Chains A and B, each alone.
Chain A
């Protein structure tokens, strides 16, 4: 059995350890102040892919991401941990994408990879928290989807069996290939980078990174092709410009509000339906939830 697995990954600002300057005065994320990291649940997805490969032996894991040239960092990180190859979709045209435009772009990238058996992705990214891109990619590829995956129970030559982590319990489901799986944060943590692979792949670069660093990599790439990280433009993935980036994104941000928690004293809420009702209403009216 030979499986082709694609892992969808995203480089995100580390919103887990935010300091005072995490937001700009305009209320947008201050990306310069936050370190760029591998989206945590995408790492869970990569681990799931690596475990499937450990089980079946013959599998190829390809990591696909979209973003500026520095997003190649997470491809390198994936190579360190055991992925076989990776591609960055990088193009000015995809900047400002919402989930619809992103899932279109990503699905075009997956199509470009040819016959694929499994697409794994993190449930959601910590910058947007939408959890929409995975399912939308499945729809655009017209393949079944299994969301909230926690563990692969078995991998057969024609189907995969997965345990889903749901709010009030677990559910075990099966799907034929190809299918898309979004992986929950409760799944196994990703393994650490592997010493020999780090030494082997540390100089892997995409074309854009090489250009930015002013390096001529033609000779190195000819001798050691594994050191070239794949890079695709919108044209490479046969995308229609009108469906990309801002023009392909119906979502428009109307207004961003900074929630400033100014209260210093605590409030006692009566442990009654009325008390809780009043609390929820207050939280909604002050835009803390809603």
Chain B
């Protein structure tokens, strides 16, 4: 009887951001569908109203079905029957409830059966689903693959596959192999063209494939014989109906146990080329990966919300020494920090989603007509911003989700270590978040570009330019001086050269400094609009100060020869 959308005012706050008017206008092409589809919005108010109502359904299903099934799904997990993966019963029910309610293909255009939602509400739905069941969020979230097909595949492929998404066809993206994990350039699965049947044939092994037995699979494979790097890879779509893939095993994982992770053998599997040859990794997977990282951001925020709420509830119920443990400073400090971190990663999540919305819509429009000069500038600005913010979001959201899940167990004390409480599942589920779709270390590699280019510093200055209420001015001024401290540290590290080992060694410190500034500034600006965020803005600013000073102090004292001590 709960609702994970309506019980969380923060979601409504982010859904009503000022930029949404422009985001929806672009996504809806000035509301061109209004007379063509009986469910298309007529104007901004109508669209936002529909977003809220549909998110309300997501919230209801998540609270009443997904969250209720989560414990059993975690216990039962998927199994292999006759070379097919069978989901746990609860997973099947979750999938059916969301598919029957028409909640797959949320961002796909209406002509393909989608709801044509912009990214912000789609990402919000992902957050809500993750709060109910972090593992199931993968199965639901892989509808992202439809986005890649829509963006890059031919019309024939689009017509064949996309209308199936809204009806509940499941997807997977088959990238990694035994010897190609973080380094996807090493992919070996072979694609050869079958002249006789006019299709491609896939042969080889894929490993650690989430939702491995999905109906529609996007497969990265080596189409150019004799090549060894990323330029020899192309992207293919495979239909499960061909029954040419063997499920060799399902991995036994620490967490997200309801989400099947499989090892697959492709046996001369017929497939169609997506887009152009040789662009598989360098263009399409990179695009898909950014979407997936945004998805893990949403997953992390959803899990953080679940863990924070569980801890808060327990801390108020559990009494020791004659009072609820929430009344003890060491406990309430943890709770306040959990709340501030959750608010911080949520605000960067929707900031990133808005940037993705802006550039993706303009990019889609550019395929329909020539963009005006001003539109091209806007596209470029938001595209760069999305590229800079996405790895920062993935880094912080996944790390914080782990810290919050850790503290959730800590607040539960001995009980939290027992299997009786949901917090141990949150803790196990959270662990993968800093690993898949690029480890935290790889997010730093991507994010450091935003440090070097000055993209973060200039965005932070834009946040600083927002006029705030008097009571927030102290926080703002503090953050301005911290930004100067960050820039000084960057200048110091830069002296060793941006391609030096010394620079690499300090890159996480620099990315994190920028991250604290982005999140704290966003929270101050949120608090300026909505008082409820004031506490989190203050906590986050204080935390930013300590963390930035710590990193700056390390950099101040840093000498390149210190690196040698770490090489063991």
**A residues within 8 Å of B by Cβ?**
191-200, 202, 224, 226
A20 CB, min distance to chain B CBs, angstroms: 20
B4 CB, min distance to chain A CBs, angstroms: 14
Inside 8 A of A199's CB, which chain B residues have their CB?
39-41, 50, 53-54, 115
Inside 8 A of A193's CB, which chain B residues have their CB?
57, 101
Q: Which of A191, A194, A195, A200 contacts B38, CB < 8 Å?
A: A200
Q: Which of A194, A200, A224, A226 contacts B101, CB < 8 Å?
A: A194
* Interface membership of B100, Cβ < 8 A: yes
* Interface membership of B549, Cβ < 8 A: no
A192 near B54 with CB under 8 A, answer: no
Inside 8 A of A194's CB, which chain B residues have their CB?
100-102
Inside 8 A of A198's CB, which chain B residues have their CB?
50, 53-54, 57
Q: Which residue of A lies closest to B117 (CB)?
A: A195
Scoring B38, B60, B61 by chain A CB atoms within 10 A of each residue's CB, the highest score goes to B38
Interface residues of B in 88-124 (CB under 8 A from A): 97, 100-103, 115
Inside 8 A of B50's CB, which chain A residues have their CB?
198-199, 202
Query: Bound state CA distance, A200 and B115, in angstroms?
Result: 12
Contact with A along B49-89 (1 / 0, CB 8 A): 11001100100110000000000000000000000000000
**B residues within 8 Å of A by Cβ?**
38-41, 49-50, 53-54, 57, 60-61, 97, 100-103, 115
B49 CB, min distance to chain A CBs, angstroms: 7
A196 near B115 with CB under 8 A, answer: yes
Scoring A192, A200, A224 by chain B CB atoms within 10 A of each residue's CB, the highest score goes to A192
B39 near A196 with CB under 8 A, answer: yes
Inside 8 A of A226's CB, which chain B residues have their CB?
38
A202 near B53 with CB under 8 A, answer: yes
Apart from A192-B61, A198-B54, what 15 extra A-B contacts exist at CB < 8 Å?
Answer: A192-B60, A192-B97, A192-B101, A195-B54, A195-B101, A195-B115, A196-B39, A197-B102, A198-B57, A199-B39, A199-B53, A199-B54, A200-B38, A200-B39, A202-B50
A192 near B57 with CB under 8 A, answer: yes
B57 near A191 with CB under 8 A, answer: no
Query: Bound state CA distance, A197 and B100, in angstroms?
Result: 12
Query: Bound state CA distance, A197 and B57, in angstroms?
Result: 12
Query: Bound state CA distance, A199 and B116, in angstroms?
Result: 12
Question: Can you identify 21 A-B contacts, CB atoms within 8 angstroms?
Answer: A191-B97, A191-B100, A192-B57, A192-B60, A192-B100, A192-B101, A194-B100, A195-B101, A195-B102, A195-B115, A196-B115, A198-B53, A198-B57, A199-B41, A199-B50, A199-B53, A199-B115, A200-B38, A202-B49, A202-B50, A226-B38
B38 near A224 with CB under 8 A, answer: yes
Q: Which 5 A-B pairs have the closest CB atoms?
A: A199-B39, A195-B102, A200-B39, A199-B50, A192-B101
Query: Bound state CA distance, A194 and B104, in angstroms?
Result: 11
Query: Bound state CA distance, A202 and B54, in angstroms?
Result: 11
A195 near B57 with CB under 8 A, answer: yes
Query: Bound state CA distance, A198 and B103, in angstroms?
Result: 12
Query: Bound state CA distance, A200 and B36, in angstroms?
Result: 12
**A-B contacts at CB below 8 angstroms, number:** 43
B52 CB, min distance to chain A CBs, angstroms: 10
Inside 8 A of A200's CB, which chain B residues have their CB?
38-39
Scoring A195, A198, A200, A202 by chain B CB atoms within 10 A of each residue's CB, the highest score goes to A195
Query: Bound state CA distance, A224 and B41, in angstroms?
Result: 14
Q: Which residue of B lies closest to A224 (CB)?
A: B38
Q: Which residue of A lies closest to B55 (CB)?
A: A195
Inside 8 A of B40's CB, which chain A residues have their CB?
199
Scoring A193, A199, A226 by chain B CB atoms within 10 A of each residue's CB, the highest score goes to A199
Q: Which residue of B lies closest to A82 (CB)?
A: B100
B103 near A195 with CB under 8 A, answer: yes
Query: Bound state CA distance, A202 and B41, in angstroms?
Result: 11
Query: Bound state CA distance, A277 and B106, in angstroms?
Result: 62
Query: Bound state CA distance, A194 and B97, in angstroms?
Result: 10
Q: Which residue of B lies closest to A202 (CB)?
A: B53
Inside 8 A of B102's CB, which chain A residues have their CB?
194-197
Inside 8 A of B100's CB, which chain A residues have their CB?
191-192, 194
Inside 8 A of A197's CB, which chain B residues have their CB?
39, 102
Inside 8 A of A196's CB, which chain B residues have their CB?
39, 102, 115
Query: Bound state CA distance, A195 and B98, in angstroms?
Result: 10
Query: Bound state CA distance, A191 and B54, in angstroms?
Result: 15
Query: Bound state CA distance, A195 and B50, in angstroms?
Result: 9
Q: Which residue of B lies closest to A198 (CB)?
A: B53
Query: Bound state CA distance, A194 and B49, in angstroms?
Result: 15
A59 CB, min distance to chain B CBs, angstroms: 18
Query: Bound state CA distance, A193 and B41, in angstroms?
Result: 18
Query: Bound state CA distance, A226 and B38, in angstroms?
Result: 10
Q: Which residue of B lies closest to A226 (CB)?
A: B38
B435 CB, min distance to chain A CBs, angstroms: 33
Query: Bound state CA distance, A37 and B472, in angstroms?
Result: 44
Query: Bound state CA distance, A196 and B41, in angstroms?
Result: 11
Q: Which residue of A lies closest to B106 (CB)?
A: A195
Query: Bound state CA distance, A202 and B101, in angstroms?
Result: 15
Inside 8 A of A191's CB, which chain B residues have their CB?
97, 100-101
Q: Which residue of A lies closest to B35 (CB)?
A: A223
B225 CB, min distance to chain A CBs, angstroms: 46
A73 CB, min distance to chain B CBs, angstroms: 14
Query: Bound state CA distance, A198 and B51, in angstroms?
Result: 10
Query: Bound state CA distance, A196 and B60, in angstroms?
Result: 16
Q: Which residue of A lies closest to B58 (CB)?
A: A195
A184 CB, min distance to chain B CBs, angstroms: 20
Scoring B97, B102, B115 by chain A CB atoms within 10 A of each residue's CB, the highest score goes to B102
Query: Bound state CA distance, A226 and B39, in angstroms?
Result: 12
Q: Which residue of A lies closest to B49 (CB)?
A: A202
A48 CB, min distance to chain B CBs, angstroms: 16
Q: Which residue of A lies closest to B50 (CB)?
A: A199
Inside 8 A of B39's CB, which chain A residues have their CB?
196-197, 199-200
B442 CB, min distance to chain A CBs, angstroms: 35
Query: Bound state CA distance, A199 and B50, in angstroms?
Result: 6
Query: Bound state CA distance, A198 and B49, in angstroms?
Result: 11
A198 CB, min distance to chain B CBs, angstroms: 5
Query: Bound state CA distance, A84 and B268, in angstroms?
Result: 48
Query: Bound state CA distance, A192 and B60, in angstroms?
Result: 8
A194 CB, min distance to chain B CBs, angstroms: 5
B286 CB, min distance to chain A CBs, angstroms: 31
Q: Which residue of A lies closest to B166 (CB)?
A: A196
B144 CB, min distance to chain A CBs, angstroms: 18
B528 CB, min distance to chain A CBs, angstroms: 33
Inside 8 A of A192's CB, which chain B residues have their CB?
57, 60-61, 97, 100-101
B55 CB, min distance to chain A CBs, angstroms: 10
Inside 8 A of A195's CB, which chain B residues have their CB?
54, 57, 101-103, 115
Q: Which residue of B lies closest to A189 (CB)?
A: B64
Query: Bound state CA distance, A74 and B379, in angstroms?
Result: 45
Inside 8 A of B101's CB, which chain A residues have their CB?
191-195
Query: Bound state CA distance, A195 and B108, in angstroms?
Result: 14
Query: Bound state CA distance, A197 and B38, in angstroms?
Result: 9
Inside 8 A of A224's CB, which chain B residues have their CB?
38
Query: Bound state CA distance, A199 and B102, in angstroms?
Result: 12
Query: Bound state CA distance, A193 and B40, in angstroms?
Result: 17
Query: Bound state CA distance, A198 and B46, in angstroms?
Result: 12
Query: Bound state CA distance, A196 and B50, in angstroms?
Result: 9
Query: Bound state CA distance, A200 and B34, in angstroms?
Result: 11
Query: Bound state CA distance, A224 and B42, in angstroms?
Result: 14
A5 CB, min distance to chain B CBs, angstroms: 19
Query: Bound state CA distance, A75 and B40, in angstroms?
Result: 21
Query: Bound state CA distance, A194 and B61, in angstroms?
Result: 11
Query: Bound state CA distance, A224 and B34, in angstroms?
Result: 12
